[in-house]
Amino acid sequence: MYVTMINRLRTGAAIAATAALFVGGHTAHAAETLKIGVPTDLSGTYADLGNQVIRAVEFAVDEANAGGNSVEYKSLDTEANPENARRQSEKLIRDGYPIILGLIASGEGLAIAPMMERWGGLYVSTINKADGLTGEACEARVFRVNTQSAMDALTIKPWLDERKEKKWAVVAVDIAWGQGSSAAFATTAESAGKEMVGQFFIPPNTNDFAPYIQQVKDSGAEGIWVVLAGRDAINFAQQAKQFGLMDSVTVAGQSFTTDNTVKALGDVAKGIYGIINYSSTLDTPENKAFVEAWRKKYDSDPTNFEGETYVGMQVLLEAVQRAGSNDPEAVAKAMSGGEFDTIMGKLKIRAEDHQLLSPNYFGVVEEQDGVLRPVITMTATPDQVAPPVTCKM
């Protein structure tokens, strides 16, 4: 409805650029600024996620500039709508921000993926889950550093194998993400010997979940897989709790009980299982240093989406360094098949489909050191969750 625009220019970078003009090209590399376009949801269902994306991008940009690089970003609002995502991404690229990062909904990523070559851009997915983005809809100029639904499904397989609930249902948002995740879950559940008793798709931005909750209860499901995020996740969890659904069935989800959603929901979220793609509690020296620096800047722990977005920025900045150029084509070349140092370890981007092979986690919401948060109970290595390659580039 109305587009919020944040355009932050580091004063330091501006001064450096002006200084470079005066010394007449002695510091040629400093003059060329890396420009990143961040189309994301700033006012829709996933506005809270968009806010996290911006914080992580800002953190990484400031860090890079403090290290002597020249990086800037510009953000535009998409309201998580694929049509807006296409328009805003094209605008950003036209305005000279050819590297795109930060779209939330899978449908948005899928909408811009086929355009990247024509627009002369490069897209790095940090949140899009739909398998197709690096599967049948894969593109030379599209990379994914976050886990796709197939990887999340492989992660829950050992857990599902052990669960005694036989009948499962899916409650998913009716967009590309929800449909893809629902299909991936159904395949995994059936391979684990479970019976699917219903797949309920709910339009994004639903206020009243009562008719859907009632149908889940009537389906006789003993366990549910929830594919809702942001505002939808909170509305569903609160209303399902009031109906007694949360206490009568086993609940697990993808991007459902994320750090911020758990914070907003409080005790309602307790005991819900879920995929954890990143946690600030990861015990690696790189992650500890990152969390330390993050706390200094924002006075809070980085959330899952902030961590994932930061991984994307790390990969991107390292690829730019290796390419020795900001040109999207050169950066894409450096990314494809490359190995990158991230807060989640040294990770590889597969050349075949441009999917980053990362570890993945599973856990449950419980209290840890007096704070209610998603706590990791199972870790999967990159090899264990590497999805099959279906891309033909």
Partner 1 sequence: MLIQVLNGIAYGGLLYLLAVGLVLIFGLREIVNFAHGALFMLGSYIGFSIAAVFNFWLGLAGSLVAMTVIGIFLDAAVLRPLRKHDHMVTVLVTFGILLVLEAFATAVWGKSFRSMSAPDLLSGTVQIAGEPFPVYRLFVIGVSLCVAAGLTAWLRFSRVGLYVRASSVDPTTTAILGVDTDRLSLIVVGLGTGLAGLSGVVAAPLMALSPTMGNYILIESFIVVVVGGLGSFSGALAAALLIGQIHNFGAIYLPWASTMLPFLLMVGVLIWRPTGFAGKRT
- Identify which range of 155-163, 213-221, 330-338, 375-383 contacts partner 1 by CB under 8 A: 213-221
Which C-beta is closer to partner 1: that of 48 or that of 131?
A: 48
When asked if residue 266 is in the footprint of partner 1 (CB under 8 A), the reply is: yes
Size of the site for partner 1 (CB under 8 A): 35
Nearest to 378 by CA among 61, 91, 161: 161
When asked if residue 2 is in the footprint of partner 1 (CB under 8 A), the reply is: yes
Which C-beta is closer to partner 1: that of 86 or that of 217?
A: 217
Phi-psi group of 155: left, alpha or beta (phi > 0 → left; psi -120 to 50 → alpha; rest → beta): alpha
d(CA 183, CA 199): 9
When asked if residue 298 is in the footprint of partner 1 (CB under 8 A), the reply is: no
When asked if residue 100 is in the footprint of partner 1 (CB under 8 A), the reply is: no
d(CA 178, CA 304): 19
- Measure the CA dihedral 208/210/215/218, to 10°: 170
Sign of CA dihedral 342, 184, 216, 249: negative
Among 210, 289, 351, 393, binds partner 1 (CB under 8 A): 210
The residue type at 15: I
Among 20, 34, 38, 48, binds partner 1 (CB under 8 A): 48
Residues 219-238 touching partner 1, rule: CB under 8 A, are: 230-231, 234-235, 238
- Identify which range of 11-19, 146-154, 175-183, 241-249 contacts partner 1 by CB under 8 A: 241-249
Nearest to 44 by CA among 80, 86, 10, 7: 80
Residues in contact with partner 1, shown as a per-residue x/- string from 190 to 209 under the rule CB under 8 A: -----------xxx-x-xx-
Which C-beta is closer to partner 1: that of 86 or that of 241?
A: 241
Query: Between the CA of residue 55 and those of 4, 49, 303, what are the distances in Å?
Result: 15, 10, 10
d(CA 331, CA 309): 18
Q: Which residues of this protein are in contact with partner 1, per CB under 8 A?
A: 1-2, 43-44, 47-48, 51, 201-203, 205, 207-208, 210-212, 214-215, 217, 230-231, 234-235, 238-239, 242-244, 260-261, 263-266, 268
